[in-house]
């Protein structure tokens, strides 16, 4: 096989079977001896099996060669660019998907106002089961969600003994934010990268959201919100309790632990299939979806 010739589909690991994302900063990614390798500014050399990684998260001071990007694309492994300590999420490289079934299914559901609202309600129920959402508009769902999330933050603050004054930060003056807000942003950036990896690998459209509708990644934010209470929020409060001056390393470590403990990579493809009422790993053609059960 020629160097990085596209492998057969059956040899590519599915999103649910891949490792959690790898965060890299201050170094170089390149191709050597038919593999991708990382050369850190400290001289550390590490070979990366990109076909088994859900995403590569690149922080400041990183460079990547064309050949390395090509290897990631042909392994269906997204590459994400973030700010220092993953405190900001800038962009991602869209990985090629081998079928257009999911994009068509996603676009069809989004274009139908009734189904768009139904999926938004289903997303709400995944986080808050048992709540009456029938007849609720997306705007009303946002308000209901905001109230519950604020309550959740306060509960985590009491549980971990962390002072919580609200979600408040200034991107232009980051150092003025308190430790818990910085930890939340760092953990959320890692969660967004993970969700972008799964969303793109499965063929969904990151630009077509059902609850969020602004920016370039509204569907990624929709999906991330399904798991924040299980991953990034508890990781941020625990990290702040253990080390109020954490520079981001601890919260990312705790976030990774939460992702593994909650089996998020295994759950996410199933949850998305449930939302769109299709079979996991066997997407139906657009227009062939079953009648809504919501």
> Start-end ranges of CATH 1.20.120.920 in the chain?
101-276
Residue 109: pLDDT band (50, 70, 90) is: very high
| pLDDT value at residue 85 | 60
Report the pLDDT averaged over residues 260-276.
92
Nearest to 283 by CA among 203, 212, 208, 214: 203
Nearest to 259 by CA among 293, 282, 235: 235
| pLDDT value at residue 279 | 65
> Start-end ranges of CATH 3.100.10.20 in the chain?
9-93
- Does residue 278 surpass a pLDDT of 90? no
- The DSSP secondary structure of 13-68, one letter per residue, reads PPGGGSBPPEEE-SEEEEEETTEEEEEETTS-EEEE-GGGBS-EEE-TTEEE-HHH
Burial profile 127-160: b = 16 or more Cβ within 10 angstroms, e = fewer? beeeeebeebebeebeeebeeebeeebeebbeeb
Q: Tell me the CATH class for 101-276.
A: mainly alpha
* C-alpha distances out from residue 163 to 154, 158, 170, 174, 241, Å: 9, 8, 19, 18, 10
**CA gap 85, 283 in Å, rounded:** 36
| pLDDT value at residue 83 | 78
pLDDT tens sequence across 200-249: 878 899 999 999 998 888 999 999 999 999 999 999 999 999 999 888 88
pTM, entire model: 0.74
Q: Provide CATH code, domain 9-93.
A: 3.100.10.20
| pLDDT value at residue 105 | 92
User: Which one is predicted more confidently, 170 or 252?
Assistant: 252
* C-alpha Rg value of the chain to the nearest Å: 20
Residue 172: pLDDT band (50, 70, 90) is: low
**CA gap 190, 88 in Å, rounded:** 9
Report the pLDDT averaged over residues 131-145.
92
């Amino acid at each position: 096989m020629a160097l990085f010739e596209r492998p057969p589909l059956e040899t590519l690991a599915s999103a649910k079977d891949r490792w959690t994302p790898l965060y890299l900063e201050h170094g170089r990614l390149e191709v050597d001896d038919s593999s991708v390798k990382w050369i850190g500014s400290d001289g550390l050399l590490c070979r990366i099996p990109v076909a088994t990684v859900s995403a590569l998260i690149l922080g400041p001071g990183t460079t990547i060669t064309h050949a390395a990007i090509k290897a990631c694309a042909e392994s269906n492994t997204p590459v994400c660019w973030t700010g220092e300590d993953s405190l900001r999420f800038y962009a991602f490289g869209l990985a090629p998907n081998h079928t257009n079934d999911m994009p068509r299914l996603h676009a069809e559901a989004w274009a139908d106002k009734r189904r768009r609202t139904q999926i938004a309600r289903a997303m709400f129920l995944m986080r808050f089961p048992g709540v009456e959402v029938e007849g609720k508009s997306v705007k009303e769902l946002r308000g209901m969600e905001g109230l519950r999330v604020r309550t959740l933050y306060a509960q985590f603050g009491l549980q971990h003994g962390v002072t919580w004054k609200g979600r408040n930060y200034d991107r232009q003056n980051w150092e003025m934010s308190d430790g818990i807000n910085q930890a939340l942003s760092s953990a959320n950036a890692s969660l967004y990268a993970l969700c972008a990896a799964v969303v793109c690998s499965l063929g969904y459209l990151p630009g077509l959201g059902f609850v969020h509708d602004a920016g370039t990644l509204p569907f990624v934010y929709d999906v991330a919100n399904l798991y924040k209470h299980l991953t990034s929020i508890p990781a941020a409060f625990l990290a702040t309790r253990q080390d109020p001056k954490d520079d981001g390393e601890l919260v990312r470590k705790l976030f990774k632990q939460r992702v593994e403990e909650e089996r998020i990579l295994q759950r996410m493809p199933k949850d998305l299939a449930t939302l769109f009422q299709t079979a996991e790993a066997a997407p139906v053609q657009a227009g062939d979806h079953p009648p809504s059960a919501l």
